[in-house]
Amino acid sequence: MKIWIDRPFPEVDLGDHDVVGPSEDDMYGADAVVVGGATWDGPMMDRIPGLRVIARTGIGVDAVDLAAATERGIAVTNTPEGPTVSTAEHAIALMFAVGKELPRQQSRLRKATGDYAMLNTAIEFDGLTLGLLAYGRIARRVARIASAVGMRVITHDPFVFADDLADDPASPELVEFEELLAQSDILSLHAPLAADTAGLFDAETFSKCKHGVVFVNASRGGLVDHDALLEALHTGQVSNAGLDVTDPEPLPPDHPLLSRDDVIVTPHTASSTTVGRRRMLDMALDQVTQVLAGDRPTHLVNAELLQPAWNDIEA
């Protein structure tokens, strides 16, 4: 069996499987592909007749045409636990870096403006309210860290109920979306990109946020209208922003977000620590080996796909 990986990879031992890549010249004839965030639509899939599985090294599968994969009998998998630790830590790092105004303070020092202490308007996190949009694996870890430094945590997630949080060490309060906006001193996005979340943070949404909110997005760039974010930064409605994801990615070098000292932008690298990359690769390859062995993978995304060899194990 042939497995193609779309980026340089460490030595892996998969027995009799032939592991190749990242050159697309090696892709033809692959039984499985292990991929990052590149687009996989029907025509792309048709370049590899006999493809059986697309294994995503990460959580989001918005770049994969799930209907096209299902139509072709291709399993699509992800690694929901893979990026959790690294991405949560990165979200916290962005939160603290912009909340403590590190870029702005460094800019003042480089310009030798003087009067540094009096100009410093950084926040103290203890006692502030952190609002989390969606409460999946990454957000839960962010909540635990935030609770440990004395923050109150609230969340809005229509798929989470109070009983789900009974044993949660962060003990977040479930609130409606408008309450999340109004109460959050720091707002961190962890929602997937979908039809009902695309462009969710527009001018109207930012206007409903608490004035001076610290805004963090380590989820998907498409959740945010960046022109609206720029205007909110200009008016002070948003005091500082930390972004690991943008639309487009990467931002062009002349994009106005990159020239501001109240914004930090990283190039969608939150999960890409050395440990995180290896963890996601190992998990993706585990999904591949399950499919190639004729088993239903544990993290099947297109759950409507049925294979005669699979039993009735729940996804």
Alpha helices in the chain (DSSP H): 42-46, 66-71, 84-99, 102-111, 116-119, 137-148, 177-183, 203-207, 226-235, 274-292
Write the pLDDT tens digit of every residue in 282-307: 999 999 999 999 999 999 999 888 67
24 is catalytic: no
Give the pLDDT mean for 50-70: 94
Give the pLDDT mean for 44-58: 95
Residue 311 in this model has a pLDDT that exceeds 70: no
CATH number for the domain harbouring residue 219: 3.40.50.720
Give the pLDDT mean for 168-191: 96
Cα-Cα-Cα-Cα dihedral sign, residues 288, 289, 291, 297: negative
Give the pLDDT mean for 36-40: 89
Provide the mean pLDDT of the chain.
92
Q: Which distant-in-sequence residues (6+ apart) come within 8 Å of 166 by Cβ?
A: none
**C-alpha Rg value of the chain to the nearest Å:** 21
Residue 56 C-alpha from the chain's centroid? 13
| 223 within a domain of the structure (yes/no) | yes
First-last CA distance in the chain: 24
261 within 8 A of 107, measured Cβ to Cβ: yes
Catalytic site residue from 268, 277, 279, 296: 268
Residue 14 in this model has a pLDDT that exceeds 80: no
- Same domain, yes or no: 74 and 90: no
Q: How many distinct structural domains can be found in the chain?
A: 2
Residue 9 in this model has a pLDDT that exceeds 80: no
- Same domain, yes or no: 165 and 256: yes
Task: State the burial class of residue 67 (Cβ atoms within 10 Å of its Cβ: 0-12, 13-18, 19+).
Answer: exposed
C-alpha distances in angstroms, 115 versus 108, 208, 227? Answer: 9, 34, 32
Q: What is the pLDDT of residue 107?
A: 93
- Same domain, yes or no: 102 and 20: no
- Same domain, yes or no: 25 and 107: no
What confidence category does residue 15 fall into, taking pLDDT thresholds of 50, 70 and 90?
low
Give the pLDDT mean for 148-176: 93
- Same domain, yes or no: 183 and 243: yes
Separation between Cα atoms, residue 261 and residue 92, nearest integer Å: 19
Residue 92 in this model has a pLDDT that exceeds 60: yes
| 299 within a domain of the structure (yes/no) | no
Q: What is the pLDDT of residue 306?
A: 67
- Same domain, yes or no: 14 and 70: yes
268 is catalytic: yes
Write the pLDDT tens digit of every residue in 103-132: 999 999 999 999 999 999 999 999 999 999
Q: What is the pLDDT of residue 167?
A: 87
| 306 within a domain of the structure (yes/no) | no
Question: Directed axis angle between helix 84-99 and helix 137-148, to 10°?
Answer: 50
| 309 within a domain of the structure (yes/no) | no
- Same domain, yes or no: 183 and 253: yes
The residue among 103, 185, 188, 102 whose CA lies nearest residue 150 is 185
Catalytic site residue from 24, 81, 124, 249: 249
Residue 16 in this model has a pLDDT that exceeds 80: no
The residue among 90, 145, 35 whose CA lies nearest residue 276 is 90
Give the pLDDT mean for 125-149: 97
Separation between Cα atoms, residue 165 and residue 151, nearest integer Å: 17
Residue 313 in this model has a pLDDT that exceeds 50: no
6 within 8 A of 35, measured Cβ to Cβ: yes
| 229 within a domain of the structure (yes/no) | yes
| 97 within a domain of the structure (yes/no) | yes
| 244 within a domain of the structure (yes/no) | yes
| 7 within a domain of the structure (yes/no) | yes
Q: What is the pLDDT of residue 11?
A: 65
- Same domain, yes or no: 25 and 93: no
Write the pLDDT tens digit of every residue in 214-271: 999 999 999 999 999 999 999 999 999 999 999 999 999 999 999 999 999 999 999 9
- Same domain, yes or no: 217 and 286: no
- Same domain, yes or no: 211 and 284: no
Separation between Cα atoms, residue 179 and residue 202, nearest integer Å: 17
Q: What is the pLDDT of residue 312?
A: 47
220 is catalytic: yes
- Same domain, yes or no: 173 and 189: yes
- Same domain, yes or no: 73 and 143: no
What is the domain extent for residue 110?
84-265
- Give the three-state DSSP class for 241: strand
Catalytic site residue from 220, 260, 277, 299: 220
Separation between Cα atoms, residue 112 and residue 219, nearest integer Å: 36
Task: State the burial class of residue 282 (Cβ atoms within 10 Å of its Cβ: 0-12, 13-18, 19+).
Answer: middle
